[in-house]
Amino acid sequence: MATGKNIVIFGATGRTGLATLAQALEEGYTVTVLVRDRARLPAQHQPARVVLGDARDPAAVSEAVRGQDAVIILLGTRNDLSPTTVMSEGTKNIVTAMKTHGVRKVVACLSAFLLWDLQKVPPRLVPVTEDHIRMHRILQDSGLDCVYVMPPHIADDQPLTGDYTVTVGASGGSRVISTHDLGHFLLRCLHTSCYDGKSVYVSRDYSKD
């Protein structure tokens, strides 16, 4: 588990990234982010350190990882569903940087589709899922202390509850998790080793709220 409060978030300007960043700052973490555009960071949630660059740039990634106690990976392609290697290339650079700087703990957000038979994944989502599979393999082969978080549909319009179902090694419960609850779980994983090396599905039925 992470023993300190210095963390780097890759993908901090995405939907889940912004929710995770806000909670990390509120919890007293010293947060570094790697972003292409500093203007995408909200004024009310400014990290301690901003490294400008792209996850596909090994030098920028190495600079962001230097001095950290743990890493959170939230790389994505936003609404671009075309074939890509952006996430796996970035993950490879992150793993290399972690080994260089002696950082062992990484919590990575992948996709619940990795818990499915690939043949059952909707065709339009297969290319992105294939890169998530490549990410997963890179992390599995890394020898690092990695948590593979595999959420279902991530909802912007649901609240932070801190009360959700955690299923290891399979999908279960509902098929939705809020960005805020997902961020909450990602940070929770930094405090425990019980999910290291495991694929974890997090969900909640918000209709009961």
Contacts of 75 (CB under 8 A, 6+ apart): 10, 11, 55, 86, 87, 90, 91, 135
Q: Pick the catalytic residue from 22, 189, 190, 200.
A: 189
**How do beta strands 49-52 and 30-35 pair?**
parallel
Taken as a whole, the chain contains a residue count of 209
Query: How far is it, in rounded angstroms, from Cα 17 to Cα 9?
Result: 7
Is 194 tagged catalytic?
no
> Percent of the chain, pLDDT > 90?
87
Task: Give the CA angle between residues 203, 7, 142 to the nearest 5°.
Answer: 75
Confidence of residue 4 (pLDDT cuts 50, 70, 90): confident
Per-residue pLDDT tens digits for 102-137: 999 999 999 999 988 888 899 999 999 999 999 999
Q: Pick the catalytic residue from 108, 109, 177, 200.
A: 109
What are the CA-CA distances from residue 62 to residues 34, 147, 167 (Å)? 10, 21, 33
Per-residue pLDDT tens digits for 26-61: 999 999 999 999 999 999 999 999 999 999 999 999
pTM recorded for the entire structure:
0.95
Is 189 tagged catalytic?
yes
